Structure 1
Amino acid sequence: MRPQRKTIHTIMAWLRRQPPKVKAFLAVVAGMAALVLLRAVVRDHDNLFVAAEAVHVIGIAVLIYKLTKEKTCAGLSLKSQELTAIFLAVRLYCSFVMEYDIHTLLDSATLVFTLWVIYMIRFNLRSTYMEDKDNFALYYVLVPCAVLAVLVHPSTSHNILNRISWAFCVYLEASSVLPQLRVMQNTKIVEPFTAHYVFALGVARFLSCAHWVLQVLDSRGHLLTALGYGLWPSFVLISEIVQTFILADFCYYYVQSIFGGQLVLRLPSGVV
């Protein structure tokens, strides 16, 4: 095991010395390689989306463990949890009126857990909540997402309100993690359970993005037509890619920290 660990440390040290453009290029190459591997291993690519939602549930379970066992919500963003609850509630509404399947059940479970986390932060553990660090204004996310949803939404046969709601939850999901990243940016030190939770979100976002990209490739672009015409199909893919890249930098430092044997993740300046 020691030679393998030494090799990993050597690779990580080499990566740290590379300029940002090289790191970005390597991240893109690694993402493409992962997509090729997933396409070869996973036959039904719908399972990737189910896996993404399942990983999100696992991430929420990590938070619940932190709150119940450690009796502290330090490092957690209440605003991110509130945005998550909003987009899950809207997505559940869309699921009930547009399509009802396994995703509806997973979203229901995630919403219940998220509401429980919000309750714990607001009431039971309010004294440990870092309100001064959680200073991301929610209207910076909600207003642009609402305006964009009105302007760019699906062109299906569903009711216009349902189509706008669907678009709103897609855009909101893509940006719901921003307040959590702001908290971590302000503190620079991320304790283990919060780091595990955000990493789980990163994995979930990548699996969801891989689902859409592979579905488009498998259908030779016909899926984009099925989603509607105009800008909406492109915006769905862009939203998924944006979510992935928002968390990619954090996930890199998380993996680096894990291989380095560090229990607490320390973020350098400029990260997230």
Structure 2
Amino acid sequence: MKGTKRPIYAVTTWLRRQPPKMKAFLALLSGITALLFIRMVVHDHDNLFVAAEAVHALGISVLIFKLSKDKTCSGLSLKSQELTALFLAVRLYCSFVMEYDIHTILDLATLATTLWVIYMIRFKLKASYMVAKDNLPIYYVVVPCAVLSLLIHPTTRHQIVNRVLWAFCVYLEAVSVLPQLRVMQNAKIVEPFTAHYVFALGVARFLSCAHWVLQVIDTRGRLLTALGYGLWPSMVLLSEIVQTFILADFCYYYVKSIVGGQLVLRLPSGVV
């Protein structure tokens, strides 16, 4: 066991010593490699989007287990859960009026479990809620997304209100995890179930991003024109990439912690 850990430790030590530009390059290279692997293994790339929502639901299930078993919500951000419920509710509305499919059912299930988590944090486990560390104002996240959705939204034939709401849920989903990252940065120590949940979010974001990128490649860019014209198609793709990179740093330290056999994740200063 020690023999297998030594090469991993050597690699992580080498990575830690690299300058930021080299780390960014290696992260980009790793992402491209993962995309190429997924493209070879997964033939129907629509399944990636379903898989992303399934992984998100799995992450929520981890939270439910934590709240039910440990009877504590320590380390969780109520604001992130509320932002998640908000963009899911808006996306559900858009799905009902614009495109009812399997994603609608998955979103409905995820919204129901998210609302249960919010109820538990607000009422049943309020005493363990780290309100002082959950200090990122929600309007810092919601207002920019609302303004951006008014300026850049789909150019389809749907009603303008529905198109703006569609854009709003896309932008909000990209940054809804920021309050949770702030809580973990303030606490510096992340207990296992919270770490599993945020890692699941990171995996879901990557799968969703891979879905869009591979769809654009497979259609040779025609997908972007199908989404409309102007800046909206590019903003959809950019939002997916932003979601992935927001969680990339945390996922690196999560994997490093798991490989090192640590149950509790300790974040160095400046992470997330």
TM-score of the superposed pair, with normalisation by structure 2: 0.99
Supply the AA of the counterpart residue of 1:79: K
Q: How does 1:21-170 map to 2 (within 5 A)?
A: 21-170=21-170
Give the equivalent residue in structure 2 for 1:180: 180
Supply the AA of the counterpart residue of 1:211: H
Give the equivalent residue in structure 1 for 2:194: 194
Q: 1:76 aligns to what SS in structure 2?
A: coil
Distance 1:8 1:139 in 2: 42
Identical amino acids, percent of aligned pairs:
77
Structure 1 unaligned runs (5+)? none
Can you list the C-alpha shifts for 1:62-93, whole angstroms capped at 9, x where unaligned? 00000000000000000000000000000000
Q: 1:49 aligns to what SS in structure 2?
A: helix
Distance 2:196 2:258 in 1: 10
Q: 1:167 aligns to what SS in structure 2?
A: helix
Q: 1:130 aligns to what SS in structure 2?
A: coil
Q: How does 1:188-227 map to 2 (within 5 A)?
A: 188-227=188-227
TM-aligned CA deviation for residue 11 of structure 1: 1.3
Can you list the C-alpha shifts for 1:171-199, whole angstroms capped at 9, x where unaligned? 00001000000001111110000000000
Distance 1:34 1:197 in 2: 21
Distance 2:268 2:9 in 1: 18
Determine if the alignment matches structure 1 residue 13 to structure 2 residue 13: yes
1:72·1:128 contact (CA, 8 Å) conserved in 2? yes
Q: 1:75 aligns to what SS in structure 2?
A: coil
Supply the AA of the counterpart residue of 1:122: R
TM-aligned CA deviation for residue 221 of structure 1: 0.3
Can you list the C-alpha shifts for 1:10-40, whole angstroms capped at 9, x where unaligned? 2112112212221111000000000000001
Please identify runs of 4+ aligned residues in structure 1 that moved more than 2 A.
1-6
Supply the AA of the counterpart residue of 1:188: K
2:5·2:260 contact (CA, 8 Å) conserved in 1? no
Distance 1:146 1:132 in 2: 26
Distance 1:196 1:227 in 2: 34
Distance 2:173 2:148 in 1: 13
Distance 2:142 2:134 in 1: 16
Can you list the C-alpha shifts for 1:39-79, whole angstroms capped at 9, x where unaligned? 01100000000000000000000000000000000000000
Supply the AA of the counterpart residue of 1:254: Y
Distance 1:120 1:244 in 2: 28
Supply the AA of the counterpart residue of 1:43: H
Can you list the C-alpha shifts for 1:110-155, whole angstroms capped at 9, x where unaligned? 0000000000000000000000000010001111111110110000
Relative to structure 2, which stretch is displaced further, 13-22 or 130-139? Answer: 13-22
Can you list the C-alpha shifts for 1:220-258, whole angstroms capped at 9, x where unaligned? 000000000000000000100000000000000001101
Distance 2:154 2:271 in 1: 34
TM-aligned CA deviation for residue 159 of structure 1: 0.9
1:76·1:183 contact (CA, 8 Å) conserved in 2? yes
Q: 1:194 aligns to what SS in structure 2?
A: helix
Distance 1:20 1:186 in 2: 22
Q: 1:247 aligns to what SS in structure 2?
A: helix
Distance 1:181 1:173 in 2: 14
TM-aligned CA deviation for residue 4 of structure 1: 2.9
Structure 2 unaligned runs (5+)? none
TM-aligned CA deviation for residue 2 of structure 1: 4.5
Let me know the Cα RMSD of the aligned residues: 0.8
TM-score of the superposed pair, with normalisation by structure 1: 0.99
Distance 2:186 2:2 in 1: 36
Supply the AA of the counterpart residue of 1:78: L
Supply the AA of the counterpart residue of 1:256: K
1:67·1:73 contact (CA, 8 Å) conserved in 2? yes
Supply the AA of the counterpart residue of 2:203: V
1:9·1:259 contact (CA, 8 Å) conserved in 2? no
